[in-house]
Every structure is written in structure tokens, then in C-alpha cells.
Amino acid sequence: MTTEMTRRDFIKATTLTGGGLLVTFYLAGCGPATPTTTTGPRTTPAATGPGAAVTPDPGDPSATIRPNLFVLIDGSGGITVTASRSEMGQGVHTAIAMIVAEELDAEWDQVRIVRAPADRALGDQVTGGSASISSMYDRLRRAGAAARQVLIDAAARTWAVEPDACRTEPGIVVHPDGELRLTYGQLVSAGIPDEDIRVNRVEPWKDPAQFRIIGTPMPLRDAPDHVRGATLYTNDLTLPGMRYAAIARCPTFGGRVLGYDRAAALAVPGVTDVAEVDGGVAVVADHTWAALQGREALAAVWDLGSLAGVTSEEIRQGLVDSTPAVGTDSISASYDIPYLAHAALEPMCAVADVRSDRCEVWAPSQDAQGFQTAVQQITRLPREAVVIHIPPIGGKFGRGLYVDAVPEAVLLSLQLGAPVKLMWTRDDDMRHDRYHAMSRYQATAPASGLEVPRVREILATSPIPTGSWRSVRNHPTAFARESLIDELAVARGMDPLRLRLDIVGVEARRVIELAAAESGWGDPLPTGWGRGIAYHATFGVTHVAEIAEVSVDGGRIRVHRVVCAIDCGTVVNPDTVRAQMEGGIVFGLTAALKDGITVSDGAVVQSNFDDYRLLPFDEMPEVEVHIVPSSARPTGVGEMGVPPIAPAVANAVFDATGVRLRSLPLRL
Amino acid sequence: MPSVRLNINGEDQVVDAPAGMPLLWVLRDFLGLTGTKYGCGIGVCGSCTVHVAGRAVRSCSIAVEKVTGPVTTIEGLSANGDHPVQLAWLAENVSQCGYCQPGQVMTAAALLAAHPRPDDAAIDAAMSGVLCRCGTYQRIRLAIQRAADRP
């Protein structure tokens, strides 16, 4: 396909959407006081080593070209890549920039990243399903290659040579004679007319064998700011005249407020307003602490609504096994998981600034355009007047797909006529999540033969909200299927590794064999220890095997070592793949070993990290990650480390104790 | 509103803060030092860790008027982000979302100031109350060992 993108097209596109992208671009680099901020350019020590600073191109930094929506090149040779998906720790911004830089043949240290606001011109911006890179890979490569072609064409015109006879080195177009050179910055400084920023053809994309950025471990661009405390998350933003809000919420879902002490809240120094909002009462103040104190002072009384008296045990009664539709020579078992909270360290929050003709929102969103639609519906402003900024996100794991805090902040800003920062407290975040559904997964397989167990999902009608939680159904599906395979192996008197190798396909076999070899499957373990394996292809695309070594002591399960093997196609950033596997394993271990969410009298019982515990530092197992080399398309890594770990640990517990655990969290 | 004298990152400050207001909110909302994060509000996650007189303290759980020593926040740990702990964090590519990392870094820096060569048990004891939902613990241990110049 021929790409044809011009700067005029870009300007047209952004004019249609209110100039949000242009605003972002021109604000880039204005410093931390500006809520719309940028990432980079940074010379990170790990990337270049000390003293390897890039000499700036002595060009005109005010001259720019934008060959397409994703790439801007300035006269100093700086490359600005627009990242259209949300960065929440999964490394997507760095990966997006790496792909563009690869095809553009850019100097990596000259690349900076800007976060895009909601903008339909950028295509799908939903950050979910671990699909950002897999869905954008070709588009980003094309964007980089097209920009490179513009520069090659400009140099060829200057030299009056054939473009196809020129080549590039990082940041430089090289004359066919091999001697003359023009840097990207020089070419842009010299001026490239609009009509020449039209690319009717793109040189063939790079042969992956020539990749020098894709496949190389790169530090996340955000990391230097992280360790200096300089990253500005949503809750760190301040706008002139901004008010701070907290909301007293009905502990149940769907209840309403019966009464509250408005005067007591207003008597708290710094509290200026009290307003009823959907599902609660907002206290607005000069600063966060006053808002929180005012919320306490409300002493709100609630009508718990239709959920009064409801318990999670009752909800669990609705998880009824169906009769397996198989013959008598089958084996079937049911596996239960509880409600689970996302529990990101950054709680839900939003900053909203609603004016008569414009609304700006900053929120940790995984769905910028969906949030834009929601805000548009509230404010009735034209779409282009609703600007949704996505600051760096403090983890979200699916929670950021749900808009909840944003309408609250928007309505308060509308009501007060001032910018509002709304922070959910930890208690709000834990008790008003969209939980992973409490569910039962029934796995069935013939007692003999080479068939992978079939898994059926049984959901109770949930009166409390449920939603996408890192890996969604893959977590319980893997727990059921991979546990049942172990049960089958026991029934047949087989090694569970052997049985898996007999029944799975070729990609699965590759990661299972790799994990088994690296873990020393079959080697003796200390007394009281056990070893378990599980494999899962999350969303059917990324193959991951994990082998856990555990000890059981007085009913306490301790995971000592996890060996992970992954096949995710082409690896863009190997360090990110490792980090996501390490992190996914920790996320899954928390679900396997710690706490579920329970409901009592219609309300979520757990309210903080003391009763919804996360795996702590001293329970971190040694994790090894092994990556299968591949030149296939990238398939995604953000969620894929999670599903295999709970069944791997449950199978290891069986190996250690002979006790089969079919409910999460695992309790002996 | 009572005036409270504080020394923050080497500078004397006087802030007017209601009695009982946690140091966390003084730092964030009054002084604009937003590197110190709110995570739980009850002292169980460690995201809000700062140094008071060199010791790691949960700023969400100490009233500002009870602060009796100089306070160092993540912004004041080093002039240029080059404290050995910060450099080790970068070398080991520790952070993912980064939200808890100021608290992790401050906790580790206090540990190493008190115990320049901590063994694994000492690292466990110091770090186990600082939660990371992204799961960066393995790299945190490597970074602390690197900063301690210990294999």
C-alpha cells in the first residue's frame, strides 16, 4: 500500500479535532509547570554510558517537518515521536518510539516522546488486551520509513542524484559517492517544502536482520524522572485556582445518602463547598487534607439500597456446576476464583477544568477517546472542545478503561466554575473498583486420549460491578485447565510435563521445553518442596510456560523460584518483555496467595493494603525469563505473565503435599 | 492556623498548617513537592516515605507538628538525580509505572546510610513494607546490592 501523508493533511486533521495534538506539540518542553508535559529527550546512563552525549546538530531547531502524525523532525536533528497509547509502566511509549526510530534510522538519543491527547486522527487509542504494539507495529514502521524517505528525497534533490542510490546512517543521509553527507537536521533546516513532504512511495522496510534498535534492551524513557520524583502523575498536577475534592461514597453500590452534617464539614478550615453528587457527597477545599477532614466531618448516613444484606457467600451460591456434557470416561473438576481488585498504587483520580466553550481533563485513562465521548456527553461541548490528556499512569491493569472518577471531577468543575482535582482515597479505590468477577471455571477432559481440557466459565449474577483485570478471563481459564491437566497426569500415572508435551501444539511445546530445560525439571528438590508447571496462550497469541518451585511449611506456601519461557514473536524491547513477565508473575502470585475481595452487607469488606495484601518484597521468588527467538509479528506481553503462575503454584503445592487446591487464593 | 517550622531539603520553611495535618499533604499541596506519593494513607504501603533526620519515615502517618528533624524528600536526595541508589535504580532498569519508586528509593537510601553493606535479611527487613504492584522487587534487590557495591 502506498502511503500519502502531508503536513496539510495533518493540519487539517488536527483542526478537525480542536488542535489538541498541535497544542501538545507546541507545549512540549515548557517544563513541569505545564500539565501537558513530554518525555525526553534524555541521555540515560544505561543507554549511552557516561560522556556519550550526542553533539547537537548545529541546525535551526525552529524549522520542523511533520511527515505524518507520529513523527516530527526539527532542524537540530531532534525527532519527536507521538505516542498514542497510554503509558502505565508497561513500556509502550519507549517501544513505540523504538519502532519509529528503527525505520527512520534515527539516533536513539535524539528521539523524544510526546504523549498524545485523545484524538481520533490517531486511530484506536484503547490501551488494553496487550495489543498496543501488535496492532500498531506496521503503522509505526510505515511512519518511520515514510519520514526517512522524505529526508532521502530532500537530500537527493540537493545533490541532483537518484534517491534510490542514497542510503542512510543513523541521523544522516549518505550520497551515492559515500563521501557527501547531510544530517537530518541540516535537511530540515534548509527547508523542505510542503509539497515535498508527500511520500508516494516508501522504500522497502528494513530487513529485520538489520535492526539495531528493535530487539535491543532499552531503558524506559520515564525512568530518570521516576527515580527523581519528577514524573507528574494526574494527582501531581496543579492548575491556577484549582480546588481539591474528596467524595464520601455510599459503601454499597447503588445506595444513596440519607443525611450528613454539612455545617460540620464547612467548619473544617479550608473547606469551601459541600455538594451532593451521584452516589455520595463531595467536599471541596483549599487542599487535599482539608477535603479529607471535611469528608470525615460529614458523618454521612446511608440508605444501603437493594444490596443491603448481600454477602459474597450468597453470590457464590450462584456458581452452580453444570453437568459435564461428556461420557463417563471423562474427568471434570471445578475451580473457583474470588472477586479481585486492581489495586494500583496510584488510586483513581482526575483533574477537570470545564469552561463555557472548552473542557480539559487529565486522567489515568486507558481509553482516551472513550473518556472524551463521556465528557462530551456531560458537557455537551463539541468533541474538539473536549481535550483529554493522559499523564503518566501509576499502574492501572485494566482499571483505567473505566471512566468513573472523570465524570465526578467534570461535574464538580462545572458546578464550581473552577478547575477541580478529585482524588479517590485508597478506601474509595478498593471499595469501588470494577472487580475481576467471582467465578467458577469447570474443566473437563476425556480420562484417556490426547485432548486439551475444555473449560467452561460459570459466572454468578454479580450485583457488584465487574470489569477487565489484567489478563481478564485468561487467569481463571489457565488455573482451571492447567490444574486439570495435572489431575489428568496423576490419574494416568504420568509426569505432568510429559502429558503436556503429548497434548499441546508446536508453539506451546517450544516454551514448555525451554522452561523445563532451564528449570532443571526432574532434578531433586529439598524435602518438603514441590515443582509445578503451567502453560497458557493469553488471548491465544503469546505462549508462556512457567515452572514454580515451592515449599510448604505449616500450611504456609512459599514460592522460591519461577522459570518463565515466552514466545511473543518479534521482541521490540527485550528488557520490557522480561520486566512484564517478572511483574505479571508478581501480580498473579498476589492473586494466588493473598486476599480476595469479599462482600458483607452489600459493601466490599477490604479497604486498604492491610486487608487486601500485595505480595511483599520478602516473598519475591527468584524469577528467570527466557525468550524464544522469533521473527514472527509481535504478539504482546503486558498481561501474559499472569495466567500461568497460579496453576503452576497450585500444581507445585500438590507435588509437595499431595493436596489438590481448586480455589484461589490457595489455602492449605 | 499554627505556624510550623520545617527544614525541607536543606531549606528552612514556615508553613501554616492545621494541627494533625500529615507531613505528606504539607509537602504535596503546600510546598509543591509532589515526588512523595499518596498510596494508602495509613502507613502500610511506603509510597510516601521521606527521611526525617536521616531515617525513613511514612509521611502520611506523621503530623507535621511532630516532625522534629530535617526532612529530605525524593527531590532533595541528590542535586542531579545521581545518588548511588538512584543510579543503581537506572542501571538495573527497576521502575515500571514508577509511582512507588520514590518511596522505594528513599527507603533504600536510608537503609544504606545506616548499613552500607546490608545482607539479604537486612534488605528484606527494610524493604518489605514498601509495596510495588508492578512487581519490581527482584530488580530493587539487585539495585540495592549494586548501590552497596556488593555482588
B76 touches A: beta carbon within 8 Å: no
- Are B69 and B94 contained in the same domain? no
| Residues A575-587 as b or e (16 or more Cβ within 10 Å = b) | bbbbbbbbbbbbb
**Of A423, A448, A471, which one is at a domain's C-terminal end?**
A423
Distance from C-alpha of A258 to C-alpha of A301, rounded to nearest angstrom: 5
Question: How much of chain A, in percent, has pLDDT values that exceed 90?
Answer: 85
How would residue A447 be classed by pLDDT, with cut points 50, 70 and 90?
A: confident
Bridge partners, A547 (sequence order):
A533, A563
Q: Which amino acid is at A495?
A: D
Which residues on chain B are in Cβ contact (under 8 Å) with A225?
98
Q: What is the mean pLDDT of residues A581-586?
A: 98
Whether pLDDT at A326 is above 80? no
Q: Please indicate, yes or no, whether residues B70 and B100 belong to a single structural domain of this protein.
A: no
pLDDT for the residue A20:
29
Statement to judge: residues B137 and B104 lie in one domain: yes
Q: Which residues of B touch A344 (CB under 8 A)?
A: 97, 99, 133
- Tens digit of pLDDT for each residue in A235-292? 999 999 999 999 999 999 989 999 999 999 999 999 999 999 988 999 999 999 999 9
Whether residue A489 sits in one domain with residue A386? no
A525-529: average pLDDT: 96
Q: Are residues B66 and B117 in the same domain?
A: no
Residue A172, domain member (yes or no)? yes
Name the residue facing A582 among B22, B35, B138 (closest C-beta): B138
pLDDT at A350 (0 to 100) = 98
**Which residues lie below 8 Å from residue A481, measured CB to CB, with a gap of 6+?**
A441, A443, A452, A453, A455, A536, A647
Q: Is residue A667 part of a domain?
A: no
pLDDT confidence of residue A57: 52
**A172 or A323: which leads in pLDDT:** A172
- Nearest of A111, A95, A349 to residue A235 by alpha carbon: A349
- The whole-angstrom separation of Cα A379 and Cα A357 is 9
**Residue of B15, B45, B134, B140 to mutate, testing the A interface (most A Cβ within 10 Å of its Cβ):** B134
**Cα distances (Å, whole numbers) of residue A77 to A26, A107, A260:** 17, 9, 60
B98 and A223 in contact by Cβ < 8 A?
yes
Phi-psi region of A229 (alpha: psi -120 to 50; beta: other; left: phi over 0): left
Find out whether A54 and A42 touch, Cβ atoms under 8 Å: no
Neighbours of A126 (CB within 10 A): 17
Query: Looking at residue A51, what is its pLDDT?
Result: 31
The answer to whether residues B71 and B99 belong to one domain is: no
Say if residue B42 is in the same domain as residue B104.
no
- What ranges in A305-348 are assigned the alpha helix state H? 312-317
CB contact under 8 A, B134 and A586: yes
Are residues A419 and A371 both part of a single domain?
Answer: yes
Does any domain span residue A318?
no
Bridge partners of residue A257, in order along the sequence: A302
**A622: nearest CA partner in chain B:** B138
In a domain, A434, yes or no: no
Q: What is the pLDDT of residue A60?
A: 82
- Verify that B91 and B122 share a domain, yes or no: yes
Report the candidate in A349, A364, A310, A339 with the shortest Cα–Cα distance to residue A428.
Answer: A349
| Partners of residue A347 in chain B, C-beta under 8 Å | 38-39
Q: Which residue has the cell 457527597?
A: A281
Buried b (16+ CB within 10 A) or exposed e, B66-95: ebeebbbbbbbbbeebebbbbbbbbbbbbb
Bridge partners (DSSP) of residue A315 are none
Strands A181-183 and A172-174 turn out to be antiparallel
Residue A251 is given by DSSP the state S
A356 burial class (0-12, 13-18, 19+ CB within 10 angstroms)?
Answer: exposed
- Picking from B20, B46, B76, the residue at the C-terminal end of a domain is B76
> In terms of domains, do A590 and A447 share one?
yes
Q: Are A222 and A127 members of one domain?
A: yes
Mean pLDDT of A434-454: 93
A27 and A172 both lie in a single domain: yes
Residue A130: which pLDDT band, with cuts at 50, 70 and 90? very high
Q: Is residue A93 part of a domain?
A: yes
Same domain, A621 and A484: yes
Query: Are B13 and B68 in the same domain?
Result: yes
* pLDDT score at A203: 63
Instruction: Look at residues B91, B93, B6 and name the one whose alpha carbon lies nearest to residue B50.
Output: B6
Q: What percent of chain A has pLDDT over 70?
A: 90
One domain for residues A405 and A509: no
> Could you tell me the residue range of the domain that residue A603 belongs to?
439-657
How far apart CA A592 and CA A598 sit, in angstroms, is 15
Domain count for chain B, please give it. Answer: 2
Distance CA A489, CA A493 (A): 6
The answer on A628 and A521 residing in a single domain is yes
- Using the predicted structure, report yes or no on whether residue A10 has a pLDDT greater than 60: no
Contact A580, A641 (CB under 8 A): yes
What contacts A81, CB < 8 A, 6 or more positions away? A70, A71, A96, A97, A100, A101, A111, A112, A113, A114
pLDDT > 80? residue A19: no
pLDDT at A269: 96
Q: Which of B83, B102, B97 is nearest to B146 (CA)?
A: B83
Beta bridge partners of A247: A282
Cβ A609–B100 below 8 Å, yes or no? no
In a domain, A340, yes or no: no
Whether residue B134 has pLDDT greater than 60: yes
CA-atom Rg of chain B in angstroms = 15
Q: How confident is the model at residue A200 (pLDDT cuts 50, 70, 90)?
A: low
Q: Which residues of A touch B122 (CB under 8 A)?
A: none
Distance CA A85, CA A222 (A): 15
Which residues are bridge partners to A600 per DSSP? A603
Expressed as residue numbers, the domain containing B29 is 3-76
Same domain, A502 and A412: no
Which tops the pLDDT comparison, A71 or A254? A71
pLDDT of residue A205: 86
Quote the distance between the C-alpha of residue A651 and its chain's center.
Answer: 29
Q: Which of these, A408, A406, A410, lies nearest to A355 by C-alpha position?
A: A410
CATH of the domain at B141: 1.10.150.120
pLDDT of residue B41: 98
Q: Name the pLDDT band for A137 (thresholds 50, 70, 90).
A: very high
What angle, rounded to 10 degrees, do the helices at B120-127 and B101-114 form? Answer: 140
Does residue A409 sit in the same domain as residue A548? Answer: no
Statement to judge: residues B103 and B69 lie in one domain: no
pLDDT over 70 (residue A613): yes
Same domain, B97 and B52: no
Q: How many CB atoms lie within 10 A of CB A404?
A: 19
Are A179 and A277 part of one and the same domain? no
Which of the two residues, A39 and A97, has the higher pLDDT score? A97
Q: What is the pLDDT of residues A535-577, one digit of tens each?
A: 999 999 999 999 999 999 999 999 999 999 999 999 999 999 9
Total count of domains within chain A:
3
Q: How confident is the model at residue A198 (pLDDT cuts 50, 70, 90)?
A: confident
User: CA-CA distances (angstroms) from residue A324 to A316, A480, A663?
Assistant: 20, 14, 19
Of B55, B76, B97, which marks where a domain is finished? B76
| Partner-chain contact B91 A46, CB within 8 Å | yes
Chain centroid, CA B67 distance in Å: 15
What is the pLDDT of chain A when averaged over all its residues?
90
B26, B48, B76 - which closes a domain: B76
DSSP per-residue letters across B130-150 = S--SS--HHHHHHHHHHHTT-
In this structure, the answer to whether residues B64 and B15 fall within a common structural domain is: yes
B35 contacts B27 by C-beta, under 8 angstroms: no
Residue of B nearest to A33 (CA): B32
A91 contact residues in B (CB cutoff 8 A): 96
Residues B68 and B91 occupy one common structural domain: no
Burial degree of A301 (CB within 10 A; 0-12, 13-18, 19+): exposed
CA-angle at A139, arms to A136 and A144, nearest 5°: 120
Residues near A145 by beta carbon (within 8 Å), at least 6 away in sequence: A103, A104, A202, A203, A205, A206
- Show which of A228, A253, A285 is a domain's final residue: A228
Q: Which of A185, A208, A228 is the last residue of a domain?
A: A228
Average pLDDT over residues A359-377: 98
- Are residues A220 and A256 both part of a single domain? no
Range with top average pLDDT, A22-36, A199-213, A616-630? A616-630
User: Does residue A1 belong to any structural domain of this protein?
Assistant: no
Three-state DSSP string of A73-142: EECCCCEEEEECCCCCCCCHHHHHHHHHHHHHCCCHHHEEEEECCCCHHHCCCCCCCCCHHHHHHHHHHH
Query: Rounded mean pLDDT of A591-613?
Result: 98
Q: Tell me what the mean pLDDT of segment A618-625 comes to.
A: 98
For B8, counting Cβ atoms within 10 Å of its Cβ (0-12 exposed, 13-18 middle, 19+ buried), the class is buried
Residue type, A8: R
Residue A328 lies in a domain: no
